[in-house]
Amino acid sequence: MNASPERITTKQRLQIQRQKMPEQNPTDRSANFEEVNLGFTEQLALLEADRCLQCKDPKCVSGCPVGVNIRTFIDLLSKGKIAEAAQSLLCDNALPAVTGRVCPQENQCEAECVRGNKGLPVGIGYLERYVADWARKHRDQLPKVEIKSTGKKVAVVGSGPAGLTAAGELAKMGHEVTIYEALHKPGGVLVYGIPEFRLPKAIVAQEVDRLRELGVKIECNVIIGRTYTLPELRERFDAIFIANGAGLPVFMNVPGENLKGVYSANEYLTRINLMAAYQFPNSDTPVLKGKRVAVVGGGNVAMDAVRTAKRLGAEAMIVYRRTADELPARAEEVHHAKDEGVTFHFLTAPVEVVGDDKRWVTGLKCIQMKLGEPDASGRARPEPVPGSEFILPCDTVVVAIGTRANPLLTATCPELKLNRHGNLVVDENGMTSLPGVFAGGDIVRGAATVILAMGDGKKAAKAIEAYFQSVLR
């Protein structure tokens, strides 16, 4: 762009290989709850940053649901200006230490990276994590955000990724934000769902503290729909953002599902993550650890559950009705699970949970499947092979086949328009059928990802700002 000679040529950039994320070795990590990925060293980060070609028209940004200015933060990082890189990243993304760990980058930013056309894309997620972790440790080196109060009050329902993101953005705009959380600890799925080994809870706590520093109030143990109704909130706030998640677990609806030893993934993970059941009796909440644990499902939640079971000492297996190619989980989670010794039963669908005379689970009766014609989702439809039933011996079953909308809040406000699944219907700005009431994340989308929820939170904050400008002027 100017006359000064480039520090590094494009040819040199192209010669650098993608740097590997250092990880705990599989044998050690499958027996502990510490983080699997250890994070880049400075040297690895700078090398990886130099792989970025600094495209004039960076495609990666369009792949990011919160629109992180990826080229800029990587450029600043590669020039050694890490504080500025952090500032740029934090300006676009309220929870970069979280997304740098849990985003499915291979389907988003990294899928668009031109380097992926020939070889491997830039490790954008790893770099995001590196910069975000630096920022967590060097908060004193980041400028304080100047906030001018607007006097407008916004309630955020739920403190998961959508709620936290919206709260951060709204607070920076100068609005007075109160988050209501139903559980006793803020973070939503980031604390009850995603395990410590993938997302340390201390990181979530730090991100929450950063919001508090911005002036966000967080009230735990408040269930909107029970402790307060939505109409009550509307009387006290100028706008509301509903992000209470898709809380209700879906069960398989097969015989034997209420036997002792059958958990929803929500219950299993909540016992372990939120209630620290893996530390029993030092923590009061127990969990059945199981000798052979069958996790039904193939998404990220199933991978979290099966890798948790492994860490609790069980022989852990995935039961999935399609093949490895259709697994919806992030590639890295599947890869980690395999390395840790998780076994996969593909083309296998449960038809019954079987138990002993004391009603403890003894196995999962399954039927073999084969792939047929593509279904509405475009994926090959699995079809049962007649007469192929068999029993997979196990003493614990974890059902991880999805969640649906929790009706607690919507039931107290019949004016809110819902779709046939009970999810909130919103317009292109994220506003519900009630003026000033916005919604995002899983309560709108059904079960999706952290980053899509965050994208909704960010979009809703902007829409709330625009709503204030137009309506409340």
Partner 1 sequence: MHTILRKQQLSPNVTRLDVLAPRIAQIRKPGQFVIVHLAENSERIPLTIADANPSAGSIALVIQAVGKSTRDLVALEPGESIRDVAGPLGHATELIDSGRALCIGGGVGTAVVHPIAQGLHERNVHVTSIIGGRSREWVIFESELKRLGDVVVCTDDGSYGRKGFVTDAAKEFLERGGIDIVYAVGPVPMMRAVANLTRPFGVRTIVSLNPVMIDGTGMCGGCRVSLGKETRFACVDGPEFDGHLVDFDELQDRLSTYREFEQQANACAAGTCRLEKQSA
What are the angstrom distances between the C-alpha of 107 and each of 92, 328, 331?
19, 11, 10
> 136-175 mask for partner 1 (x: CB under 8 A)?
----------------------------------------
Instruction: Tell me: does residue 221 bind partner 1 (CB under 8 A).
Output: yes
Query: What is the smallest separation between the CB atom of 183 and partner 1, expressed in angstroms?
Result: 6
**Contact with partner 1 (CB under 8 A) among 14, 220, 471, 472:** 220
Encoded tokens for 369: 């499947």
| Segment lying near partner 1 (by CB under 8 A), choices 87-95, 259-267, 317-325, 333-341 | 259-267
Among 27, 258, 419, 429, binds partner 1 (CB under 8 A): 258
**Of 471, 470, 400, 403, nearest in space to 441 by CA:** 403
Q: Which two tokens stand for residue 80?
A: 């050694």
Which of residues 285 and 433 has its CB atom nearest to partner 1 in the complex?
285
Residue with tokens 């492994």: 310
Looking only at the bridges linking them, the beta strands covering 437-439 and 239-242 are parallel
Q: Could you say which of 41, 62, 227, 388 contacts partner 1 (CB under 8 A)?
A: 227
Residues 379 and 357: their CA atoms lie apart, in Å, by 40
String marking each residue 391-410 x if it binds partner 1 according to CB under 8 A: ---------------xxx--
User: Per CB under 8 A, does 283 bind partner 1?
Assistant: yes
Query: Of 111 and 408, which CB lies nearer to partner 1 in the complex structure?
Result: 408
Among 20, 260, 335, 370, contact with partner 1 (rule: CB under 8 A)? 260
Considering only 15-23, 54-62, 65-73, 246-254, which stretch makes contact with partner 1 by CB under 8 A?
246-254
Which of residues 54 and 412 has its CB atom nearest to partner 1 in the complex? 412
Cβ 173 to partner 1 shortest distance, Å:
29
Considering the complex, what minimum distance in angstroms separates the CB of residue 359 from partner 1? 5
Report the residue number, 125 or 249, with the smaller CB distance to partner 1.
249
Residues 189 and 209: their CA atoms lie apart, in Å, by 17
- Residue 219 CB, shortest distance to partner 1, in Å, is 10
Of 151, 281, 378, 387, which lies in the binding site for partner 1, with binding defined by CB under 8 A? 281
- Please pick, from the candidates 288, 296, 318, 337, the single residue that binds partner 1 as defined by CB under 8 A: 288
From residue 265, alpha-carbon distances to 151, 248, 300, 397, 421 in Å are 42, 11, 11, 9, 20
Residue 294: strand pairing partners:
317, 397
Using the rule CB under 8 A, is 356 a contact of partner 1? Answer: no
Segment near partner 1 (CB under 8 A); pick from 18-26, 63-71, 273-281, 320-328: 273-281
Query: Positive or negative, the Cα torsion across 189, 191, 195, 199?
Result: positive
CB of 306 to partner 1, least distance (A): 18
* Residue 387 makes contact with partner 1 by CB under 8 A: no
Query: Given the complex with partner 1, which of 126 and 278 has the nearer CB atom?
Result: 278
Q: Which is nearer to partner 1, 26 or 446 (CB)?
A: 446
The 179-208 contact track toward partner 1, x by CB under 8 A, reads ---xxx-------x----------------
Q: How far is CA 165 from CA 151, 220, 301, 416, in A?
A: 20, 17, 22, 23
The contact set with partner 1 (CB under 8 A) reads 182-184, 192, 220-223, 226-228, 247-249, 251, 257-258, 260, 263-264, 266-267, 270-271, 275-276, 279-286, 288, 358-359, 406-408
